[in-house]
């Protein structure tokens, strides 16, 4: 069996390594452009949205609670969810921020 391995044709050119690594490079490029890059972009947009929150903005938490921002601290928000009900939540729990009315946007 050792004779069969020794008799196997050897590639004499240096392109063998490139052809071996090319599929791995292409797979990484596909993952980068279709998975990693869009995820980073969405995360940056979410961070920008959270940092731009103001008092009076209506938000939705990751748990589905709708409320109005009444106080903003370093890492938390105070949400008014009903007339006499306020909740303190982490900023990271906010899943969607203020909804801009299309009518307001067109008017400006």
Instruction: Assess if residue 50 is contained within a domain.
Output: yes
Residues of the chain with pLDDT under 70: 1-15, 99-108
Question: Could you tell me which residues come within 8 angstroms of residue 27 by beta carbon, excluding any fewer than 6 positions away?
Answer: none
User: What pLDDT was estimated at residue 90?
Assistant: 92
Would you say 78 and 87 are in contact if contact means Cβ atoms under 8 Å apart? Answer: yes
User: What pLDDT was estimated at residue 21?
Assistant: 87
Instruction: Assess if residue 23 is contained within a domain.
Output: yes
- Condensed to tens digits (0 to 9), the pLDDT of residues 38-67 reads 999 999 988 888 888 889 889 999 898 999
Instruction: Assess if residue 81 is contained within a domain.
Output: yes
Instruction: Assess if residue 57 is contained within a domain.
Output: yes
Instruction: Assess if residue 90 is contained within a domain.
Output: yes
User: What pLDDT was estimated at residue 79?
Assistant: 93
User: For the chain, percent helix, then strand, then coil, each to nearest 5?
Assistant: 50, 25, 25
CATH number for position 78: 2.30.30.30
Instruction: Assess if residue 38 is contained within a domain.
Output: yes
Instruction: Assess if residue 5 is contained within a domain.
Output: no
The three state secondary structure string of 17-59 is HHHHHHHHHHHHHHHHHHHHHHHHHHHHHHHHHHHCCCCCCEE
Rounded distance between C-alpha atoms, residue 93 and residue 62, angstroms: 5
Instruction: Assess if residue 3 is contained within a domain.
Output: no
User: What pLDDT was estimated at residue 85?
Assistant: 93
- Domain hosting 75: range is 16-98
User: What pLDDT was estimated at residue 98?
Assistant: 75
Domain count, the chain: 1
């Amino acid at each position: 069996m050792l004779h069969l391995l020794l008799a196997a044709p050897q590639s004499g050119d240096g392109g063998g390594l490139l052809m071996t690594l090319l599929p791995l490079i292409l797979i990484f490029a596909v993952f980068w452009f279709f998975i990693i890059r869009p995820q980073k972009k969405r995360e940056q947009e979410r961070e920008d949205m959270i940092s731009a929150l103001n008092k009076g903005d209506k938000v939705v938490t990751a748990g589905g609670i709708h409320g109005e921002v009444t106080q903003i601290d370093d890492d938390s928000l105070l949400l008014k969810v009903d007339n006499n009900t306020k909740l303190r939540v982490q900023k990271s729990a906010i899943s969607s921020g203020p909804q801009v009315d299309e009518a307001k946007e067109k008017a400006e």
